[in-house]
Amino acid sequence: MVLYSGDVGQLSQMIDSHSRIFVLVDGNTINFCLPLFFEKTRISNFTLIEIPSGENCKNLDTVQKIWSQLVENHADRNSLLINLGGGVVSDMGGFAASCYQRGIGFINVPTTLLSMVDAAVGGKTGVDFQGLKNQIGLFSNPLAVYVDTDFLLTLPVREQKSGLAEMIKYGFISDKSFFDVQLPVSQEFVKRAIDAKEKITQKDPNEAGLRKVLNFGHTVGHAIETYLLDSQNYMLHGEAVAIGIIPALWLSEKYCGLDTKWAGFYKTLYKDKFDYFNLKDLNLNALIEIMRHDKKNADGKIRFVLVSEPEKPHYDIVVEECDIIESLNYLVDFLGDESSFGK
């Protein structure tokens, strides 16, 4: 169930029906979002659990710390965990809650654009493991997702652009009007993106088929994000998706007959809305190796979501390694000239 700012009374009622309330925050949301959350919900009787911020902490050690705090504070089966934060907080909090005493309720309160339109919705929870993103996890739905775009007022522009990429992705997989989204994003567009995601996840909650289309741009995007995970040059998830769409379009031309005008269209859109990244030193073979480990692949073959035209996605397209390399070179060429960005 997705609740919006006008439904805050319903949210408060849902919270109050639990025996103990825990609020999970990270080093950012404790300062920038918790005061607004109090102001909106007026909850007072709860235990705060703070974890460090960032993808580097999205691991089983942090989950153990959450479980320890739940035990130490006598959380029972009727306790509630409220995940106040971005995708890392909702993924990890959802996972911790779903395993604790075989499952307690949790509510996601996404505070970034990316988590509003993607991570907090649809029931994916989990942590990174052995350098692989979201390798350990469960499908488990929150009792509710509370979406309030007031949280975006404190969000850095880089984070907003990251969320924007996941919205523009819908332009290719389900509704071309998402190509028109601008920052700052209106609540109306956020709601439309959530509706678009729910329409897909409700048909295929466990990603047996259709849900895979949500991964358009993610095969290469995820690999680049993982490759840079521990580097100074790290990339936000949406930034990696925005970049990953470029090779996906090249492959879409080759495998699905996509008209070449769409790659041109997207490259112009990319330069208008997103940032330059220096990917000249990418080790392409290392990227391919990461793609092989992608959960969406099987039997050593690398599968992509591609489009034959916008709004017509195709999943599980097996792509030859030589074509992936060529599409990556196409990406590196596109990013080659820094001076043509930001114009």
Q: Which residues are known catalytic residues?
A: 102, 124, 166, 199, 207, 211, 215, 218, 222, 237
CB of 60 to ligand GLY, least distance (A): 21
In the structure encoding, which two tokens stand for residue 112, read together?
Answer: 């970034």
Contacts of 76 (CB under 8 A, 6+ apart): 19, 20, 101
Q: One symbol per residue from 161 to 190: x for binding ligand GLY (CB under 6 A), - otherwise; what is it?
A: ------------------------------
DSSP for residue 50: E
Any alpha helices (H) in 146-260, and if so which ranges?
Answer: 157-173, 187-203, 218-227, 237-256
Nearer to ligand GLY, 69 or 111 (CB): 111
With CB under 6 A as the contact rule, the residue among 18, 58, 124, 192 that binds ligand GLY is 124
211 binds ligand GLY (CB under 6 A): yes
With CB under 6 A as the contact rule, the residue among 49, 63, 75, 214 that binds ligand GLY is 214
CB of 4 to ligand GLY, least distance (A): 20
DSSP for residue 250: H
Window of 19-27, 118-126, 183-191, 298-306 that interacts with ligand GLY by CB under 6 A: 118-126
CB of 126 to ligand GLY, least distance (A): 11
Q: Whose CA is closest to 239, among 266, 275, 215?
A: 275
122 binds ligand GLY (CB under 6 A): yes
Tell whether the torsion through CA atoms of 242, 283, 230 and 55 is positive or negative.
Answer: positive
Nearer to ligand GLY, 161 or 211 (CB): 211
Q: Whose CA is closest to 62, among 36, 83, 44, 80?
A: 83
In the structure encoding, which two tokens stand for residue 154, read together?
Answer: 């404190």
- What's the longest Cα–Cα distance across the chain? 59
Q: Which residues are at the interface with ligand GLY (CB under 6 A)?
A: 118, 122, 124, 211, 214
